[in-house]
């Protein structure tokens, strides 16, 4: 590194050398006895000096001597006090002209490097006071030139590299510009690629060498912005990862501010949970209380863990009217079972009768007691009533879990992780809804709260127009009043209802779960990034675990999420023997080589009657929703064959 003071000393030494050269030239002229020879020698010396001044200004002004910038940004460039005023473009900017700047600047540079584009104005003056005034005028011009464009000022610390000259002309402009430097001095233009076999030298040594008309120069400037990767506007916040350009991870932090809601979308294993852990740590450091609904038991390392059904209980009948609970049961049943989940008048009738019997006995209402009453009613009732009881029992079994049998939980304070890994998908969705209802009715806005849900909906069961109205919508509408923020994770973006997609201030897009989802996200991001859908599609499809696009009011940036060690995924606990025949389940799972917990879950969700009806109708699309069949081949999967064996159904005799 060369300090400015050292460069000034070199300039003085250089000019002392030039004085000696001039003195030697003078003595060479004077030593001749002939007047004609002296005149001839004088003409030679004057011509040499004149050509040097015209053709080699850098030599005369010692501009090959360049110091490193001081903390104030001033450097020594030959005899000149010099300052490089630099801005980084945060988004694509096509209508850019350098002409207003060259009237006052020595040179203007457009530098494309690692997905960023920089504007650098080189300002010269003999004095520091003159340099300060010129810099002020240049900044005013830049503000006018770049009005309406998202830029940020940067400090140029290093501008030395290897450069290779590009041959081009007005008729033959390069169509694609990799990392390069474009120079303009008011008359000529130069273009240099980074890299090459030349020795490492300062960017300020590069010379413009081609005369271009205005249209060609503007076209060349526009091509500099092709392939520009967006970046954040620097602000204060919590570091969640590093910025990426293509596959390259830069040493540039990506910051997250804590205002507004968060939505993360991407397939399982794409990195959503790691990002969620980062955000939870950040919110906790800011003094927020955090409630984490942990679907897979991975986030226990982040705070106090409570296991649903063991150390955390929430009976919905303790907080909601029975009719409200049954309405919610129906909504969730429809979400998972579609039209089979709708309560018929008979189902409503038997549920009302069961509630009446429990009220008459003065007993506490729970799902298990409702099921017991329905079973007793089924024994003595007529056929139509028995059918209604059976249908009601099947619906209630979706939510038959110890967590709903009573209410017992500690005060929400700090980071509070509720482990839901023992619940089925329907149970997790129902639990989340009930907990949010409780918070909606009881939370004090004096304490800021963050609610984190890593799997918002069982997406493989969701049809967009069937999603029921959600408590999340109600909470989002009054979140500012309640001082509540959401962090929501989901596998798909396109299937979410509008009230979910419209609420976040921060959107993180990880690798998509399906081709259709990938196309929809590519079109969405292409509009924001001002890039072609094909290029965005390719980049989204090649995202690796922990890589995502982060979209906020502060811009769009590609991120490599900071890694945080998580707890191993816990296998879902086996359901109780009272719910399924455990010994038969293990025997059939081993015979058909399927996981016991998967078979147990599908036994709860698909009754024998529904399964048999679907087989008779050949409704393989419905069966495929539960991974029981391959719809295109119209054949049962291993899980479907195992379920048929569990229900003692001979598949060959059906249909």
Please determine, for residue 655, whether its predicted confidence score (pLDDT) is greater than 90. Answer: no
What is the DSSP-derived secondary structure letter of residue 182?
A: E
Q: What is the pLDDT of residue 460?
A: 37
Choose one of 224, 256, 273: the last residue of a domain: 224
Do the beta carbons of residue 289 and residue 443 sit within 8 Å? no
Distance from C-alpha of 584 to C-alpha of 605, rounded to nearest angstrom: 17
Q: 365 or 466, which is more confident? A: 365
Name the percent of the chain in helix, strand, coil, to the closest 5: 45, 20, 35
Question: Mean pLDDT across the stretch 548-556?
Answer: 88
Verify that 536 and 442 share a domain, yes or no.
yes
Verify that 210 and 244 share a domain, yes or no.
no
Distance from C-alpha of 97 to C-alpha of 103, rounded to nearest angstrom: 12
Question: Mean pLDDT across the stretch 245-252?
Answer: 85
Is residue 332 domain-resident? no
Distance from C-alpha of 132 to C-alpha of 119, rounded to nearest angstrom: 19
We report the CATH number of the domain holding residue 380 as 1.20.5
- Give the rounded percent of residues in the chain with a pLDDT score beyond 70: 90
The backbone torsions φ and ψ at residue 92, rounded to the nearest 5 degrees and listed phi first, read -65, 140
Distance from C-alpha of 505 to C-alpha of 528, rounded to nearest angstrom: 15
Beta-bridge mates of residue 490? 265
Beta-bridge mates of residue 75? 82
Alpha helices in 398-477 (DSSP H): 425-442, 471-477
Q: Is 76 helix (H, G, I), strand (E, B) or coil?
A: strand
Q: What is the pLDDT of residue 648?
A: 82
Question: Mean pLDDT across the stretch 195-202?
Answer: 82
* DSSP E strand stretches across 208-312: 238-245, 248-256, 261-265, 289-294, 304-307
- pLDDT category, 217, cuts 50, 70, 90? confident
Verify that 295 and 415 share a domain, yes or no.
yes
Greatest alpha-carbon span in the chain? 142
CA 276 from centre of chain? 11
Please determine, for residue 544, whether its predicted confidence score (pLDDT) is greater than 60. Answer: yes
Cβ neighbours of 267 (radius 10 Å) = 18
Please determine, for residue 151, whether its predicted confidence score (pLDDT) is greater than 90. Answer: no
Query: Pick from 26, 23, 17, 25: which is nearest to 59 by CA?
Result: 17
We report the CATH number of the domain holding residue 537 as 3.40.50.300
Rg of the chain's alpha carbons, rounded to an integer?
Answer: 36
What is the DSSP-derived secondary structure letter of residue 112?
A: E
- pLDDT category, 573, cuts 50, 70, 90? very low
pLDDT digits (tens, 9 = 90+) for 48-99: 887 776 666 777 888 888 988 888 889 999 999 999 999 888 776 656 677 8
- pLDDT category, 478, cuts 50, 70, 90? low
SS (H, E, C) 162-229: CEEECCCECCECCCCCCCEEEEECCCCEEEEEECCCCCCEEHHHCCCCECCCHHHHHHHHHHHCCCCC
Query: Pick from 143, 148, 150, 154: which is nearest to 90 by CA?
Result: 150
For the chain, what is the domain count?
Answer: 5
Choose one of 224, 249, 267: the last residue of a domain: 224
- pLDDT category, 280, cuts 50, 70, 90? very high
Q: What is the pLDDT of residue 464?
A: 41
- pLDDT category, 248, cuts 50, 70, 90? confident
Alpha helices in 542-592 (DSSP H): 582-592
Distance from C-alpha of 204 to C-alpha of 219, rounded to nearest angstrom: 24
Do the beta carbons of residue 484 and residue 439 sit within 8 Å? yes
303 contacts: CB under 8 Å, gap ≥ 6: 280, 284, 290, 292, 414, 415, 416, 417
Q: What is the pLDDT of residue 93?
A: 60
Please determine, for residue 28, whether its predicted confidence score (pLDDT) is greater than 80. Answer: yes
Is residue 572 domain-resident? no
Cβ neighbours of 233 (radius 10 Å) = 16
Lowest mean pLDDT among 144-158, 186-200, 591-605, 607-621: 144-158
Is residue 190 domain-resident? yes
In the chain the first and final C-alpha atoms are separated, in Å, by 84
Written as one string, the DSSP assignment of 370-412 is HHHHHHHHHHHS-HHHHHHHHHHHHHHHTT--GGGSS-B----
Please determine, for residue 466, whether its predicted confidence score (pLDDT) is greater than 50. Answer: no
Is residue 323 domain-resident? no
Verify that 513 and 647 share a domain, yes or no.
no
Task: Kindly provide the b/e burial profile for residues 333-362, where b requires at least 16 CB atoms within 10 angstroms of the residue's own CB.
Answer: bbbbbeebbebeeebebbbebbbebbeeee
Q: Is 61 helix (H, G, I), strand (E, B) or coil?
A: coil
- pLDDT category, 23, cuts 50, 70, 90? confident
Distances (CA, A) of 154 to 14, 117, 151, 588: 32, 12, 9, 66
Domain of residue 30, residue span? 4-60
Distance from C-alpha of 391 to C-alpha of 203, rounded to nearest angstrom: 78
What is the DSSP-derived secondary structure letter of residue 183?
A: E
Do the beta carbons of residue 452 and residue 484 sit within 8 Å? no
Choose one of 500, 526, 561: the last residue of a domain: 561
Cβ neighbours of 499 (radius 10 Å) = 15
Distance from C-alpha of 450 to C-alpha of 285, rounded to nearest angstrom: 12
Verify that 476 and 374 share a domain, yes or no.
no
What is the DSSP-derived secondary structure letter of residue 269?
A: T
Verify that 192 and 83 share a domain, yes or no.
yes
Is residue 567 domain-resident? no
- pLDDT category, 171, cuts 50, 70, 90? confident
Q: What is the pLDDT of residue 192?
A: 93
Alpha helices in 206-264 (DSSP H): 214-224
Q: 572 or 541, which is more confident? A: 541
Question: Mean pLDDT across the stretch 499-505?
Answer: 84
Beta-bridge mates of residue 210? 189
Distances (CA, A) of 91 to 222, 225, 249, 551: 13, 9, 19, 13
Verify that 140 and 167 share a domain, yes or no.
yes
Which contiguous run of DSSP H or E holds residue 494? Answer: none
Q: 400 or 572, which is more confident? A: 400
Mean confidence (pLDDT) of the chain = 83
Is residue 598 domain-resident? yes
Verify that 418 and 279 share a domain, yes or no.
yes
Is residue 573 domain-resident? no
- Bridge pairing between strands 304-307 and 261-265: unpaired
Distance from C-alpha of 467 to C-alpha of 336, rounded to nearest angstrom: 10
Distance from C-alpha of 640 to C-alpha of 655, rounded to nearest angstrom: 15
Q: What is the pLDDT of residue 458?
A: 47
Please determine, for residue 291, whether its predicted confidence score (pLDDT) is greater than 70. Answer: yes
490, HSE (Cβ side, Cα atoms, 13 Å): 24
Q: What is the pLDDT of residue 540?
A: 92
Task: Kindly provide the b/e burial profile for residues 384-412, where b requires at least 16 CB atoms within 10 angstroms of the residue's own CB.
Answer: ebbbbbbbbbbbbbbbbbebbbebebeeb
Do the beta carbons of residue 415 and residue 292 sit within 8 Å? yes
Q: What is the pLDDT of residue 136?
A: 92
Verify that 442 and 295 share a domain, yes or no.
yes
Is residue 232 domain-resident? no
Helices 515-529 and 533-541 cross at an angle (nearest 10°) of: 130
Distance from C-alpha of 25 to C-alpha of 371, rounded to nearest angstrom: 113
Please determine, for residue 577, whether its predicted confidence score (pLDDT) is greater than 60. Answer: no
| Burial class, 593, CB count within 10 angstroms (exposed 0-12 / middle 13-18 / buried 19+) | exposed
Q: Is 484 helix (H, G, I), strand (E, B) or coil?
A: strand
- pLDDT category, 475, cuts 50, 70, 90? low
Most confident of the ranges 235-239, 275-279, 490-494:
275-279
Distance from C-alpha of 466 to C-alpha of 291, rounded to nearest angstrom: 28
Distance from C-alpha of 206 to C-alpha of 276, rounded to nearest angstrom: 48
- Give the rounded percent of residues in the chain with a pLDDT score beyond 90: 20
- Bridge pairing between strands 504-509 and 547-552: antiparallel
Please determine, for residue 470, whether its predicted confidence score (pLDDT) is greater than 60. Answer: no
Verify that 158 and 98 share a domain, yes or no.
yes
172 contacts: CB under 8 Å, gap ≥ 6: none
Verify that 182 and 124 share a domain, yes or no.
yes
Please determine, for residue 272, whether its predicted confidence score (pLDDT) is greater than 60. Answer: yes
Verify that 306 and 387 share a domain, yes or no.
no
Which contiguous run of DSSP H or E holds residue 548? Answer: strand 547-552
Alpha helices in 530-581 (DSSP H): 533-541
pLDDT digits (tens, 9 = 90+) for 342-372: 888 888 889 988 889 888 888 889 888 898 8
Do the beta carbons of residue 487 and residue 506 sit within 8 Å? no
Q: Is 479 helix (H, G, I), strand (E, B) or coil?
A: helix
């Amino acid at each position: 590194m060369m300090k400015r003071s050292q460069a000034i000393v070199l300039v003085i030494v250089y000019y002392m050398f030039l004085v000696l050269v001039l003195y030697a030239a003078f003595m060479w002229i004077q030593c001749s006895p002939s007047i004609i020879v002296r005149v001839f020698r004088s003409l030679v010396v004057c011509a040499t000096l004149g050509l040097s001044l015209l053709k080699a200004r850098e030599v005369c002004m010692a501009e090959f001597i360049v110091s490193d910038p001081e903390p104030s940004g001033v450097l020594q460039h030959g005899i000149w006090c010099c300052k490089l005023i630099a801005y980084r473009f945060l988004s694509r900017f096509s209508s850019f002209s350098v002409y207003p700047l060259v009237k006052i600047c020595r040179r203007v540079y457009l530098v494309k490097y690692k997905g960023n584009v920089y504007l650098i104005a080189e300002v010269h003056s003999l004095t520091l006071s003159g340099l300060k005034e010129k810099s002020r005028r240049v900044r005013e011009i830049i503000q006018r030139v770049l009005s309406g464009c998202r830029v940020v000022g940067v400090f140029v610390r290093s501008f030395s590299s290897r450069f290779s000259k590009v041959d081009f002309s007005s008729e033959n402009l390069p169509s694609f510009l990799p990392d390069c430097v474009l120079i303009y001095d008011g008359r000529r233009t130069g273009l240099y690629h980074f890299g090459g076999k030349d020795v490492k030298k300062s960017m300020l040594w590069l010379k413009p060498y081609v005369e271009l008309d205005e249209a060609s120069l503007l076209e060349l400037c526009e091509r500099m912005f092709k392939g520009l990767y967006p970046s954040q506007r620097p602000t204060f916040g919590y570091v969640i990862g590093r910025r990426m350009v293509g596959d390259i991870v830069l040493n540039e932090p990506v910051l997250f501010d804590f205002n507004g809601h968060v939505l993360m979308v991407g397939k399982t294993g794409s990195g959503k949970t790691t990002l969620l852990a980062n955000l939870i740590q950040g919110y906790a450091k800011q003094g927020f209380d955090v409630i984490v609904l942990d679907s897979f038991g991975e986030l226990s390392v982040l705070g106090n863990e409570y296991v649903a059904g063991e150390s955390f209980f929430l009976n919905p009948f303790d907080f909601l009217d029975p009719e409200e609970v049954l309405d919610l049961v129906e909504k969730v049943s429809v979400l998972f079972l579609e039209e089979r989940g709708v309560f018929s008048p008979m189902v409503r009738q038997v549920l009302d009768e069961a509630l009446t019997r429990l009220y008459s006995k003065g007993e506490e209402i729970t799902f298990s007691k409702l099921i017991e009453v329905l079973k007793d009613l089924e024994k003595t009732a007529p056929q139509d009533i028995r059918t209604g009881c059976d249908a009601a029992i099947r619906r209630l079994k979706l939510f038959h879990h110890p967590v709903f049998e009573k209410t017992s939980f500690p005060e929400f304070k700090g980071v509070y992780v509720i482990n839901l890994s023992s619940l089925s998908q329907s149970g997790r969705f129902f639990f989340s809804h009930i907990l949010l209802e409780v918070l909606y009715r009881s939370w004090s806005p004096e304490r800021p709260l963050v609610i984190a849900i890593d799997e918002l909906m069982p997406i493989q069961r969701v049809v967009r127009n069937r999603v029921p109205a959600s408590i999340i919508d109600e909470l989002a509408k009054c979140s500012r009043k309640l001082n509540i923020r959401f962090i929501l994770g989901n596998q798909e973006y396109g299937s979410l209802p509008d009230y979910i997609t419209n609420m976040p201030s921060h959107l993180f897009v990880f690798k998509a779960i399906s081709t259709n989802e990938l196309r929809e996200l590519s079109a969405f991001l292409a509009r924001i990034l001002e890039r072609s859908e094909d290029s965005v599609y390719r980049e989204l499809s090649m995202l690796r675990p922990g890589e995502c696009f982060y979209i906020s009011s502060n811009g769009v940036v590609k991120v490599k999420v900071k890694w945080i060690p998580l707890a191993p995924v816990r296998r879902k606990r086996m359901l109780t023997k009272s719910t399924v025949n455990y010994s038969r389940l293990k025997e059939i799972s081993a015979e058909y080589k399927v996981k016991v917990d998967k078979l147990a879950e599908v036994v709860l969700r698909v009754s024998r009657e529904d399964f048999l009806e679907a087989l008779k109708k050949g409704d393989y699309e419905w069966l495929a929703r539960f991974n029981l069949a391959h719809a295109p081949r119209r054949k049962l999967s291993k899980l479907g064959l195992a379920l048929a064996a569990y229900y003692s159904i001979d598949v060959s005799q059906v249909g």
